[in-house]
Amino acid sequence: MAKIDLSNISHTYNPLDPKPTYALNPFSMTWENGKRYAILGPSGCGKTTMLNIVSGLVRPSKGEILFDETPVTDLKTEDRNIAQVFQFPVIYNTMTVYDNLAFPLRCREFTKDKIEERVKAVSDTLNLSSFLNSPARKLTADQKQLISLGRGLVREDVAAVLMDEPLTVIDPDLKFRLRRNLKEINEQYKTTLVYVTHDQNEAMTFAENIIVMDQGEIVQVGLPKDLFEKPKTTFVGYFIGSPAMNIFHSTVSSDHEVKINDTTIKTNSNLGNLKDKNVKLGIRSEFIELAEKEKSNTVKIKLTRVEDFGNFKLLTGKMGDLVIKSKVEREKPIPDGELNLYFPPEKCCVYSDEKLV
């Protein structure tokens, strides 16, 4: 267990190129000891590169990594005492499940008793106890991934457990249970867990802190609630939440107001410096309320579609050429034709140059 500092890290896979493209643009970040982090972003945004830099499989082009204030940038992978679980199960085919789980401990010359104790504890947690003597290659894909996970968790003193979309091959039921198990392990052993995913629900339910990445940049680090309610960029607004955040082109009309298609919307943002500038107004479909009559901060839309998702209804409507989506309670009666939607000012986010004002 360790505090991990990433200081001015950047990485390119073609350093000899006169104009190298960076898989990771310079960033600094600290992963506190014993916390759960999720790295969230679309495929190819640099998530796996970041993990590989921490585990030592990739040496960063620039910057420094510190474990508990000790520089480890030049330390080899095997000397970093880190655990990493890959997207697809990587198991030692020629060994039994027990030997697979014991392997990291044997490599580090733990005593036989300690190995037995740890393997038992981890196999109990992951429901692998009954397979311990089976050849690992005979297990199913999700059981194999549990072995990979088990090899990551078997060392108590590990600096951090890095997981690269580890639950992709696991069925949804087990996925849910495993996420809960991982949380328990984190709480019990205070192991720093870093979890890479492109599934926002997975990130939101698992992590205390979420790191959102896009095109090699870290665009926002924060609590799930902050990412949801106050996305720092329009990308985060689009990427987090289902459906994506409603984002409209608008013009600043006063210190706290913007205009969308001649409708004035009051916000809590301070827009004094942006008078008459073009900005974007963002609001989650969850925060848009159905208003019985026209009042301040309401927009009139023409309802085009109502989708019933079982636990809520998703309304899609048009205001001119703008499409607005709103989630409403399932039981709420939806009038046909035109309706008024209320935008609570405290939930409205204004973006200038794609960044939150």
Partner 1 sequence: MSKLYTFLKYFFITFWTVFVVAPFLWAVSTSFKDFQSVNSKVTYIPWLDFEPTLEGWRVLIKSPAKGGVDIVEPYFNSIFVTCTASLISIVLGTLAAYALSRFTFKAGFVRNNDITFFFISQRIMPPIVLSIPFFIFLSTIGLLDSLLGLVVVYIVLLMPIAVWIMVDFFNRVPKELDETALIDGCNPYQAFYKVVLPNSIPGLIVAGMFCIIFGWIDFFFAFILTFTEVQLLPVKVVALNSSITPWWSLSASALVSVAPLIIVAFIVERYLSKGNLSGALK
Q: Which is closer to partner 1, CB of 155 or CB of 284? A: 155
- Structure-token pair, residue 87: 């997207």
| Binding residue (CB under 8 A) for partner 1 from 41, 46, 60, 104 | 104
CA of residue 159 relative to chain centroid, distance: 21
Assess 151 for contact with partner 1 (CB under 8 A): yes
Q: Which is closer to partner 1, CB of 169 or CB of 323? A: 169
Alpha-carbon dihedral 266, 200, 316, 232, rounded to 10 degrees = 20
Assess 96 for contact with partner 1 (CB under 8 A): no
Q: Which is closer to partner 1, CB of 146 or CB of 265? A: 146
| Binding residue (CB under 8 A) for partner 1 from 9, 83, 203, 279 | 83
SS3 at position 97: helix
- Interacting stretch for partner 1, rule CB under 8 A, among 17-25, 76-84, 116-124, 335-343? 76-84
Q: Which is closer to partner 1, CB of 77 or CB of 304? A: 77
- Interacting stretch for partner 1, rule CB under 8 A, among 21-29, 71-79, 258-266, 341-349? 71-79
Neighbouring C-beta atoms of residue 109, cutoff 10 Å: 7
| Binding residue (CB under 8 A) for partner 1 from 59, 108, 190, 302 | 108
Assess 103 for contact with partner 1 (CB under 8 A): yes
CA of residue 29 relative to chain centroid, distance: 15
Q: Which of 132, 15, 4 is nearest to 67 (CA)?
A: 4
Fill in the DSSP letter of residue 19.
Answer: S
- Interacting stretch for partner 1, rule CB under 8 A, among 104-112, 258-266, 280-288, 305-313? 104-112
Assess 150 for contact with partner 1 (CB under 8 A): no
Cα separation, 311 vs 258, whole angstroms: 33
Assess 49 for contact with partner 1 (CB under 8 A): no
Assess 82 for contact with partner 1 (CB under 8 A): yes
Pair 327, 287: CB distance under 8 Å: no
Q: Which is closer to partner 1, CB of 89 or CB of 317? A: 89
Assess 90 for contact with partner 1 (CB under 8 A): yes
Cα separation, 31 vs 36, whole angstroms: 9
Pair 2, 192: CB distance under 8 Å: yes
Q: Which is closer to partner 1, CB of 14 or CB of 273? A: 14
User: Exposed/middle/buried for 289, CB within 10 Å: 0-12, 13-18, 19+?
Assistant: middle
Assess 238 for contact with partner 1 (CB under 8 A): no
Assess 57 for contact with partner 1 (CB under 8 A): yes
User: Exposed/middle/buried for 275, CB within 10 Å: 0-12, 13-18, 19+?
Assistant: exposed
Sheet with 322-329, strands from edge to edge, namely 289-291, 338-342, 298-308, 312-319, 322-329
Q: Which is closer to partner 1, CB of 86 or CB of 238? A: 86
Contacts with partner 1, residue ranges (CB under 8 A):
55-57, 76-78, 81-84, 86, 88, 90, 92-94, 103-104, 107-108, 148, 151
